[in-house]
Amino acid sequence: MLRTHTCGELRLEHVNQLVTLAGWVQRVRNKGGLIWVDLRDRYGVTQLIFEEGSTDKALLEKAALLGREFVVQASGKVIERTSKNDKIPTGSIEIKVSELSVLNPAKVPPFIIEDETDGGDELRMKYRYLDLRRNVVREKLQLRHRMMQETRKYMDAQNFIEVETPVLIKSTPEGARDFVVPSRVNPGEFYALPQSPQTFKQLLMVSGFDRYFQIVKCFRDEDLRADRQPEFTQIDCEMAFVTQEDILNTFEGLIKHLFSSVKGIDLGYVEHMTFADAMKFYGNDKPDLRFDMKFVELDHLAKGKGFSIFDQAELVVGICAKGAAEYTRKQIDELTDWVKRPQIGAKGMVYVRYNADGTLKSSVDKFYSQEDLAEWAKAFGAEPGDLMLVLSGDAKSTRKQLSELRLKMGEDLGLRDKSVFKPLWVVDFPLLEWDEETKRFHAMHHPFTSPKREDIPLLETDPGAVRANAYDLVINGVEVGGGSIRIHDRATQQLMFKHLGFTDEEAQKQFGFLMEAFEFGAPPHGGIAFGFDRLCAIFGGSDSIRDYIAFPKNNSGRDVMIDSPSTIADDQLEELSIRVALKK
């Protein structure tokens, strides 16, 4: 070993010991006859000291030539620091260096490699191997490592077996575009990279494996944002001979274990909410429960009073922001402009301020008396000091707009505390959802999701009303996992394919292997997949998953460090029987 200790290891009890450290030069402070060097490795920082009179002159000159990010080896005696630094664990000692070797000099880095850096996103992505030297980034990957180990520990204790599934598979409709890989030995044919191991984990249940999991790479060719990458990681799980409740209990246990072992937090009770209630009271299927602000419908109180905007609306609905009556008219106008932005799409906003003296002031006083507004306040459960905000229009878009407004108010009022965690199971999702572009139903989750048995007759009469045995785990308004009880017999699977618009031939071509497997004794089964990168970001208090991935892509799906994707040579294309003809 080139070192006896790490740069985060030495303390006062090591004083007078001869040690050898190796690492990167964090910074050099040269006072002429006195030089301090901060030496850094993955474990911490230790100060080296070179002092005129007690340090060899040649050694002092050598230390003066050190630059940032030089890789060096230093030997010497541990001494107590006269001026201690209580901000680092090694701040009570320093190394009086007697030998110094430069293992590798370094160019001046393109940005400062410290917690607070001057490097922008693109620059740090281009030199990601340097960015990974920063504590704040490395700590995120250490968190990821810890969560991975604790996941395996929990799953093993629950009798799950980790099985790897293929990466080169068949293209199937999973909801996003596939990444495809040409086959050299089968010209004109392509593999796809898996969007998830869905069919394989179901086949493992048919194989009798009973409890499977995998921490697995998945691939989706879709537009990117902060919580999306073209390649991402799932904790993928499946169980046989279980009900939905068994799965919820098992994987609620996993999440509680992770919070307890990694963050020292007891999650306590995890609420269950139907999809219908989530949409009715929060306007989306992943509500943030760190704060209340439930939707209150006002149709019966607001309509029929001569205010045509409300009278003509399909839905009048609002939220009560506790303690926000102090909002000025300017702040309310800014909120109104915010909901009218194209991204939100509201036509306008009505407010009611519940003043401290008990009076009610609104933007629609012309149409509603104090008694009318008092009825509104009663419906909201409002008190003096509260602010009621009301939107109207067609039901679906108005709920979506109010959901965005609710989240903004939660943010503005400081109610979305990243140190607070509110998990929630959302259950009873619709099996199908209508697509206006294609004018047909699509599977809300995937084609293998089981409908609730009592709803199966509705497939013929009212497909949109059919509920699925599907569930999502939501934490702080972020979906971190989703799954379902699966279809496990050929007849029901064929019925599902029929209602999704598959011909018998299409279903056989794409999923014949799975339906045939169902005829060889498939057990009832179900599972869930957690977005591991998202889970790590929530644990780390981040909005983006990017820093929890060692070498991520940018928003264009490019790795600017290695310049990928890139063109390939003509002879390689010829070998693959591919000719490139780009559309102009």
- φ, ψ (nearest 5 deg) of residue 156: -65, -40
Is the CA virtual torsion 452, 456, 459, 461 positive or negative?
A: negative
Distances (CA, A) of 71 to 41, 48, 67: 10, 14, 9
Token match 């409709």: residue?
A: 173
| Residue numbers belonging to the annotated binding site for L-aspartate | 174, 220, 445, 486
Who's near 453: CB < 8 A, 6+ residues apart?
none
| Residue numbers belonging to the annotated binding site for ATP | 220-222, 229, 479, 531-534
Q: Is 65 exposed, middle or buried (0-12, 13-18, 19+ CB in 10 A)?
A: exposed
For the chain, the first-to-last Cα distance in angstroms comes to: 58
Of 446, 444, 465, 445, nearest to 454 by C-alpha is: 465
Residue-range domain boundaries for the chain: 12-104, 138-272+475-488+523-571, 291-413
pLDDT value at residue 356 = 93
What one-character DSSP code corresponds to residue 332? H
Token match 């269950």: residue?
A: 272
Of 314, 284, 279, nearest to 299 by C-alpha is: 314
Answering whether pTM is above 0.85, one says yes
Neighbours of 235 (CB within 10 A): 24
| Residue numbers belonging to the annotated binding site | 174, 220-222, 229, 445, 479, 486, 531-534
Residue 344 structure tokens: 């939100």
- φ, ψ (nearest 5 deg) of residue 515: -65, -35
CATH label, 12-104, candidates 2.60.40.1120, 2.40.50.140, 3.40.190.290, 1.10.1370.30: 2.40.50.140
AA letter at 436: E
- To 5 degrees, how large is the angle CA 143–CA 144–CA 146? 65
Is the CA virtual torsion 408, 414, 418, 422 positive or negative?
A: negative
Does domain 138-272+475-488+523-571 fall into CATH 1.10.3720.10?
Answer: no
Task: Return the SS3 of 456.
Answer: coil
How far is Cα 182 from Cα 577, in angstroms, rounded to an integer? 9
What one-character DSSP code corresponds to residue 329? H
Per-residue pLDDT of the chain (584 residues; tens, 9 = 90+): 999 999 999 999 999 999 999 999 999 999 988 999 999 999 999 999 999 988 889 999 999 999 999 999 999 999 999 999 999 999 999 999 999 999 999 999 999 999 999 989 999 999 999 999 999 999 999 999 999 999 999 999 999 999 999 999 998 765 688 999 999 999 999 999 999 999 999 999 999 999 999 999 999 998 877 678 999 999 999 999 999 999 999 999 999 999 999 999 999 999 999 999 999 999 999 999 999 999 999 999 999 999 999 999 999 999 999 999 999 999 999 999 999 999 999 999 999 999 999 999 999 999 999 999 999 999 999 999 999 999 999 999 999 999 999 999 999 999 999 999 999 999 999 998 887 777 778 788 888 899 998 988 888 888 888 999 999 999 999 999 999 999 999 888 888 888 888 888 888 888 889 889 999 999 999 999 999 999 999 999 998 899 999 999 998 899 999 999 999 999 999 999 999 888 87
pLDDT value at residue 53 = 86
Pairing, β 161-162 against β 211-219: parallel
pLDDT value at residue 175 = 66
Who's near 102: CB < 8 A, 6+ residues apart?
62, 66, 70, 71, 72
Residue 116 structure tokens: 């607070």
Of 176, 173, 170, nearest to 192 by C-alpha is: 170
pLDDT value at residue 433 = 85
Alpha-helical (H) ranges within 56-120 are 57-64
Which uninterrupted H or E stretch holds 534?
helix 532-540
How far is Cα 492 from Cα 511, in angstroms, rounded to an integer? 13
Of 69, 23, 14, nearest to 46 by C-alpha is: 23
- To 5 degrees, how large is the angle CA 549–CA 551–CA 553? 95
Plot region of 26 (φ>0 → left; ψ -120 to 50 → alpha; else → beta): alpha
- To 5 degrees, how large is the angle CA 22–CA 25–CA 31? 120
- φ, ψ (nearest 5 deg) of residue 150: -70, -35
Is the CA virtual torsion 155, 159, 164, 170 positive or negative?
A: negative
Task: Return the SS3 of 453.
Answer: helix
Task: Return the SS3 of 282.
Answer: helix
How far is Cα 290 from Cα 421, in angstroms, rounded to an integer? 7
* Residue 110 near residue 560, CB atoms below 8 Å: no
Alpha-helical (H) ranges within 424-483 are 458-461
The gap from C-alpha 75 to its chain's centroid, in whole angstroms, comes to: 44
Token match 């008190």: residue?
A: 383
Cis peptide before 463 (omega within 30 of 0): no
Q: Domain 291-413 has what CATH class?
A: alpha beta
Question: Based on C-alpha coordinates, what's the Rg of the chain?
Answer: 30
pLDDT value at residue 8 = 97
Residue 72 pairs with which residues in a beta bridge? 23, 102
Who's near 518: CB < 8 A, 6+ residues apart?
206, 487, 488, 489, 490, 493
Residue 4 pairs with which residues in a beta bridge? none
